[in-house]
Amino acid sequence: MSAQQLKWIVVALGAALVLWLASELMSRPPDDRQTARALPEVPADSVTVIEIRRAADTILLGRFGDHWQVNGYDASPAKMDEWFRALADTTESEVVATSAAVHARMGVDTGGTRVDLRRGEASLAVLWFGKTATGNPRAAYVRRDGEDRVYAYGGGLVRLVALPVDDWRDKVIADIDPATVRHALMARHGDAVELVRAEDGWHLGREGKADSAAVAQFLGALRPLEATGFPTPAQADSVEFAHPDRRLVVLGQGGDTLAALLFDSTAGAYWVRPESGGTVYRIPTGRADRVVPAHAALFPKEGGGS
């Protein structure tokens, strides 16, 4: 290696070191560790659209009257409540950078996750979520659109902006108050069972009294009955409810239908759908066994009470 080549290498390394030091100084917070609220003040009732745009996909949440949808499906009310509680959090975050020069390194430039809060077509606020904050695996770098300041934000939105669409969907299949149930019809592979509430407790049709603990477990599984997921488009094509493996009908005081569900078995689980049609849900086999128990499981146990 010639002396001239060595000189140019030293110069290049020196320039790189200067740029790195400048970047570190610009990304370092002031000596007093300045803090401020990372999230904008946006009232929940002013937001009608939330768009979370990521490299892999886009989550689009929209409010219609008193309920929300996500990518065309019913959204979970509990998840929406969680979102707006997190948005309203006034906890301050550390300001970790004040220069646009470090936005790309922190992931809060246009390559990050973009969150747009809108009222109709009008944008109320835009946030950029970037990489995990150094030294705090529960926090992420966050920047408000149009500003240079970057925060190490550790609030609830960090987890929520990373959720897949199925985690935003409403997973409640049925939510029935046990006190309102008067009659239940269930079938497993053609073996039909009838539960009737009488003054002296629950009966298996005309077969005698039912086991009270088993009935309590059945009723408890309906408040609420929640899915663990949904079929993929390919799985949905193979679900068949014309001859269901199980069926459940729950009736109230006046004979009104509180739930009517069909079950189709799959590996280690069941697909469940309202008898009237609509969303197909996935629940594990153990949960399906609690909401459609075997005939024998509902009889009083020998030596036990009813």
pLDDT along the chain (306 residues), means of 10: 56 53 49 84 96 95 96 96 96 96 96 96 97 95 97 98 97 97 93 92 90 95 96 91 95 95 95 96 96 91 59
Residues 11 and 148 in one domain: yes
- Rounded Cα distance between 181 and 62, Å, is 34
- Cβ–Cβ under 8 Å, residues 192 and 147: no
In a domain, 303, yes or no: no
Residues 164 and 176 in one domain: no
Which domain CATH number covers 228? 2.60.40
Q: What is the pLDDT of residue 20?
A: 52
Residues 275 and 243 in one domain: yes
Q: What is the pLDDT of residue 25?
A: 46
Q: How many structural domains compose the chain?
A: 2
pTM exceeds 0.85 for this model: no
Q: What is the pLDDT of residue 6?
A: 53
Phi–psi pair at 24, nearest 5 degrees: -65, -40
- Cβ–Cβ under 8 Å, residues 42 and 118: no
Residues 10 and 145 in one domain: yes
Q: Domain limits at 104?
A: 3-168
Last residue of a domain, one of 136, 168, 200: 168
Helix residue ranges, H only, 115-257 = 157-160, 165-168, 212-220, 233-238
Residue-by-residue DSSP string for 24-76: HHHHSPPTT--EE--S----GGG--EEEEE-SS-EEEEEEETTEEEETTEEBP
- Rounded Cα distance between 217 and 195, Å, is 13
Q: What is the pLDDT of residue 117?
A: 98
